[in-house]
């Protein structure tokens, strides 16, 4: 009996890129594109509607500096744990790969990958495996070995700042609460962000909460 095609949703803010990707994937009997979306909200709605096996997600879904794809993966993993998220993006750096994996991504490939490798990645994550191209795999390996885990390096003061960040305090409020200057608060926040291997204070709070720091 022939195995049914892998039901796949494409999430990218560029309609032309989605169209091109759909055209490539539709040539393969192993994959069927059952939906697509260009925004965080539309993607969540589409996944709920069509119940795919795999969602191929770009990390940048807006023109700003935020990586909405990370938030989508995190929320999708929470709402639909059986759906596998595969990152397909132009961005490749240690922080992004690690953050994607922590958000729940089962694979990470860059957009210069060929169609055969992309389909292989979709197939792998659809069956519960992990799919990373050689560059992102090396980053994950370094993270697993502990190079990105700075939890033990956080000072008591940095933990105090982190707790107040989680409470929604501003830099000025943190400074007043700890009797330190606002510039010192910024210094501690930069250190926390660096040690936790993230790029934003909101991600620092999220990662810290996952690790039981706050």
pLDDT digits (tens, 9 = 90+) for 159-212: 899 999 988 899 999 999 999 998 889 988 988 888 887 778 888 888 787 777
Cβ atoms of 189 and 161 closer than 8 Å: yes
User: What digits encode the pLDDT tens for the residues 125-138?
Assistant: 999 999 987 777 77
Pair of tokens at residue 40: 């965080």
Average pLDDT over residues 70-81: 94
Cross-strand pairs, 107: 86, 131
Question: Which secondary structure element, helix H or strand E, spans residue 56, and what is its range?
Answer: strand 54-57
Backbone φ and ψ of 210, nearest 5°? -65, -30
Tell me what pLDDT residue 196 has.
Answer: 81
Cα–Cα distance for residue pair 189/170, rounded to 1 Å:
11
Residue 49: C-alpha distances to residues 23, 46, 77 (Å): 22, 5, 15
Lowest model confidence (mean pLDDT) among 48-57, 74-83, 146-155: 146-155
Cβ atoms of 57 and 87 closer than 8 Å: yes
Number of helical H runs and strand E runs in the chain: 10, 6
> By CB neighbour count within 10 A (0-12 exposed, 13-18 middle, 19+ buried), where does 111 fall?
middle
Cross-strand pairs, 110: 89
Q: Specify the pTM.
A: 0.66
Pair of tokens at residue 17: 């890129």
Tell me what pLDDT residue 151 has.
Answer: 47
Mean pLDDT of the chain: 87
């Amino acid at each position: 009996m022939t195995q049914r095609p892998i039901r796949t949703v494409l999430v990218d803010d560029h309609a032309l890129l989605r169209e091109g990707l759909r055209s490539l994937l539709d040539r393969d009997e192993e994959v069927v594109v059952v939906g697509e979306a260009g925004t965080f909200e539309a993607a969540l709605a589409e996944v709920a509607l069509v119940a795919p096996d795999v969602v191929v997600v770009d990390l940048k879904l807006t023109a700003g500096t935020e990586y909405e794809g990370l938030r989508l993966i995190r929320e999708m993993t929470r709402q639909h744990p059986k759906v596998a998220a595969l990152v397909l993006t132009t961005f490749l750096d240690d922080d992004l790969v690690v953050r994607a994996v922590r958000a729940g991504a089962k694979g990470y490939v860059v957009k210069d990958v060929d169609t055969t490798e992309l389909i292989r990645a979709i197939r792998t994550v659809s069956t519960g495996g992990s799919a990373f191209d050689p560059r992102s795999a090396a980053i994950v390996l370094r993270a697993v070995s502990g190079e990105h885990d700075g939890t033990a390096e956080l000072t008591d003061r940095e933990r105090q700042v982190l707790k107040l960040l989680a409470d929604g305090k501003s830099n000025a409020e943190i400074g007043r609460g700890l009797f330190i200057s606002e510039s010192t608060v910024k210094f501690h926040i930069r250190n926390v962000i660096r040690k936790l291997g993230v790029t934003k204070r909101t991600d620092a709070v999220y990662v810290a909460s996952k690790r039981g720091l706050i």
